């Protein structure tokens, strides 16, 4: 884990180092229906048949997230489904401000097991926003149940991963 980010991209993988993380992910056409998640929201998904890189024509681009410690960057790629909600603070938001979307992703066929986790995330986000009198600083919160996740969980910014057994 101390050098895990270096396996994905060139970086200084130290807790004190912060980066702006805005990944672009390229997939082969046969994986075009897969879900791709990262720390920030998906900005675009394009299939470019005329691309110079014919092996990977499906391109996912993500919104930049600033000041992320490299060890908390995240990419999840898989055949996933999700359920979603927003925090309980929706009624108390200033006019024009959007609530933080909360999504719980699972492998296909298991999203019905994620409702309790989504409810806890929704309650917790509302509780801590109220307690600290501060809105959640990221544009979204994804939770991902990963089968056979050896470390149990990882608190990646905006894309929290946990072992599927927690469901």
Of residues 119 and 149, more confidence is placed in: 119
Mean residue pLDDT of the chain comes to 87
Cβ within 8 Å of residue 136, ≥6 positions away: 87, 100, 125, 128, 129
Question: What is the tens place of the pLDDT at every residue in 20-39?
Answer: 989 999 999 999 999 999 99
Q: Which of 131, 31, 130, 36 minimizes the C-alpha distance to 89?
A: 130
> What digits encode the pLDDT tens for the residues 125-155?
989 988 998 889 999 999 999 998 888 889 9
pTM (predicted TM-score): 0.88
| Torsion over CA: 6, 9, 10, 14 (sign) | negative
């Amino acid at each position: 884990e101390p050098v895990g980010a270096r396996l994905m991209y060139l970086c200084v993988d130290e807790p004190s180092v912060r980066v702006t993380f805005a990944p672009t992910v390229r997939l082969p056409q046969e994986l075009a229906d897969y879900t791709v998640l990262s720390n920030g929201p998906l900005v675009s998904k394009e299939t470019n048949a005329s691309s110079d890189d014919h092996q990977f024509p499906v391109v996912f681009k993500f919104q930049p997230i600033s000041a992320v410690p490299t060890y908390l960057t995240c990419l999840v790629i898989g055949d996933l489904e999700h359920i979603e909600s927003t925090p309980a603070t929706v009624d108390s938001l200033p006019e024009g401000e959007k609530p933080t979307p909360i999504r719980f992703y699972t492998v296909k066929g298991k999203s019905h097991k994620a409702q309790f986790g989504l409810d806890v995330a929704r309650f917790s986000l509302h509780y801590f926003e109220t307690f600290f009198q501060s809105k959640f600083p990221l544009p979204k919160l994804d939770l991902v149940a990963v089968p056979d996740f050896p470390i149990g969980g990882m608190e990646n910014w905006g894309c929290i991963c946990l072992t599927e057994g927690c469901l």
